[in-house]
Amino acid sequence: MDERLSTTQVPAVIGVADKAPAIRLENVAKTYDLGEVQVHALRGVSLEIHAGEFVAVMGASGSGKSTLMNILGCLDKPTKGRYFLDGGDVSGLTKKELARVRSHKIGFVFQQFNLLARTTALENVELPTIYAGIPVAERARRAQEALERVGLADRADHFPSQLSGGQQQRVAIARALVNNPAILLADEPTGNLDSRTSVEIMEIFQKLNDEHGLTVVIVTHEPDIAQYAKRALEFRDGRLRKDIPIQNRSIAKDVLPTLPALDEDDVEMVAEREAEPGAAEALLHNTRTPG
């Protein structure tokens, strides 16, 4: 059996042009209708992200970042506008069709890890292979391989409660990788992690992006974390306000040796911080070396 499922099994992406951007949004709006009030979470967003990019999405709380990620991840649909994924228009698909596209094309990582508690690391990673229809014999092998890619091959039998926060997030990344997605989306993946562990997670994303050409889009409101990406988008009030290349990019594998080693018993969950206004601006002029 082929490593990757044939794209012909995904109706939305038939006849796709080779050079199409991985992601293209055309004037995408999302309005949540709460009866009395309408919340305009996205107000006409257009952007392109190409294969191999590494993008950090920034902006204050409530600016529409998660709404954007949920649309990019085919977890939700735009109210208006169009979304082309790998050149195929997915804006008109049904929920079931979207789920199918998602399971083949997208890996999604959440701030809260979202692992099943009574399930081992290996089984957590295996879950998406079931939905993707991977043959049983193949599932555990793929899951083990994905755990190896995040450096957790020796923790396959552990339950989430037996793993540190950083290790749990690595299991969640392995789970996102197990179906060989073209795009990895992560909504505040380091929001619950201390700063050294956050850099370790960024090291994994940089490695996947550099060595495997994986397209990576992360949400963060920490300029230090965005500094590991190649491009920063800043949202305000549902609009894309800035789109800038990262200068003086941080390289996690060079930064890690400069950070103090972590005492595992000493790990404190870092409280979620609000984004600082003008965060993207700060990035542009950032000349500091992190750590």
Rg of the chain in Å (alpha carbons): 19
| Number of residues that this document lists for the chain | 291
- Least gap, CB of 238 to ligand ADP (angstroms): 7
| Residue 62 interaction partner, one of ligand ADP, Mg ion, none, beta carbon < 5-8 Å per kind | ligand ADP
Per-position DSSP letters for the chain, written without gaps between them: --SS--GGGSGGGTT--TT--SEEEEEEEEEEE-SS-EEEEEEEEEEEE-TT-EEEEEE-TTSSHHHHHHHHTTSS--SEEEEEETTEE-TT--HHHHHHHHHHHEEEE-TT----TTS-HHHHHHHHHHHTT--HHHHHHHHHHHHHHTT-GGGTT--GGGS-HHHHHHHHHHHHHTT--SEEEEESTTTTS-HHHHHHHHHHHHHHHHHH--EEEEE-S-HHHHTTSSEEEEEETTEEEEEEE-SS---HHHHGGGSPPP-GGG--PPPP-PPPTTHHHHHHT--PPP-
Looking at the Cβ atoms of 37 and 261, the one nearer to ligand ADP is: 37
- Counting contacts by CB under 6 A, is residue 32 touching ligand ADP? yes
CB 216, CB 275: distance < 8 Å: no
Which listed range, 15-23, 56-64, 85-93, 276-284, lies at the site for ligand ADP (CB under 6 A)? 56-64
- Counting contacts by CB under 6 A, is residue 220 touching ligand ADP? no
- Least gap, CB of 98 to Mg ion (angstroms): 20
Looking at the Cβ atoms of 93 and 109, the one nearer to Mg ion is: 109
Looking at the Cβ atoms of 70 and 164, the one nearer to ligand ADP is: 70
- Counting contacts by CB under 6 A, is residue 65 touching ligand ADP? yes
| Residue 112 interaction partner, one of ligand ADP, Mg ion, none, beta carbon < 5-8 Å per kind | none
| Residue 223 interaction partner, one of Mg ion, ligand ADP, none, beta carbon < 5-8 Å per kind | none
| Residue 111 interaction partner, one of ligand ADP, Mg ion, none, beta carbon < 5-8 Å per kind | none
- Least gap, CB of 44 to ligand ADP (angstroms): 14
- Counting contacts by CB under 6 A, is residue 64 touching ligand ADP? yes
Given 28, 54, 67, 93, the residue binding ligand ADP (CB under 6 A): 67
- Least gap, CB of 21 to ligand ADP (angstroms): 22
Given 12, 23, 41, 217, the residue binding ligand ADP (CB under 6 A): 41
Gap between the Cα atoms of 156 and 121, Å rounded: 5
- Least gap, CB of 187 to ligand ADP (angstroms): 7
Looking at the Cβ atoms of 62 and 291, the one nearer to Mg ion is: 62
Tell me the number of residues near ligand ADP by CB under 6 A: 12
- Counting contacts by CB under 6 A, is residue 112 touching ligand ADP? no
Residue pointed to by tokens 């191999």 = 52
CB 218, CB 55: distance < 8 Å: yes
Query: Which residues in this chain contact ligand ADP in the complex, by CB under 6 A?
Result: 32, 34, 39, 41, 59, 61-67
